[in-house]
Amino acid sequence: MSQLRLPLGMPEARETEFLVGGSNVRAVQQLERWATWPVMAALLTGPRKSGRSLLARIFAAKSGGTILDDADRAKEADVFHAWNRAQADRRPLLIVAEAAPPEWAVKLPDLRSRLAASPLLQIGPPDDALMPQLLERAFERHLLHAKPEVIAWIATRIERSHIAILRVADALESAGVQRLSIPTARATLADACLLTVTDDI
């Protein structure tokens, strides 16, 4: 499992590392090859808490480009002008949103055409390899201690999403048990209705 680090002297180093796995590696590779984009803008999409904003900041720091985060909540005219400005300045723009059109209902025809011309970079739900890594990261942030076998057990029994991982960490922290075992995790996550598999393995 590789990591991308933000090249900035930020004190919380772990907060500036983006874990790369099968669900996001293609987006990372497309960002690394931004000079080959057909236009000086791309659209990066991904679910909540997927690290899309962090990846965008890493891209901007490395490329000298700019970011328009939460673009699907911004004024369409602002997105349109930012896209045009990126072409004029020859400075790459990364437009970050939760979803691409047509799910992102863009009303301005000129903006729709420009987004359609821009490369689409997508972050998907975490895969089998990335789930334990993200759980470990979340547990570190919540000061939770769990052996690899406990993390592996949880990873195969919860919803495969970034937001579910954060909910699991919150629930375990709220239970007040810092050193996790499988029985403790099972009881706590069952009570919180966060288990999708409820066997007794």
φ, ψ dihedrals at 97, nearest 5°: -150, 165
Q: Which domains does the chain have, with CATH numbers?
A: 2-122 (3.40.50.300), 130-191 (1.10.8.60)
- pLDDT exceeds cutoff 60 at 47: yes
Across the chain, what does the average pLDDT equal?
91
Proportion of the chain above pLDDT 70, given as a percent: 91
pLDDT at 10: 39
Give the burial string for 21-60 (b: 16+ CB within 10 Å, else e): bebbeebbebbeebeebeebbbbbbbbebbbbebbbbbbb
- pLDDT exceeds cutoff 70 at 126: yes
pLDDT at 3: 60
Mean pLDDT across 113-137: 96
> What residue spans of 99-161 are helical by DSSP H?
109-117, 130-141, 148-155
pLDDT at 178: 82
Query: What does the DSSP 8-state code read for residue 51?
Result: S
Burial class (CB in 10 A: 0-12, 13-18, 19+), 134: buried
87-114: pLDDT as tens digits: 999 999 999 999 999 999 999 999 999 9
pLDDT at 13: 42
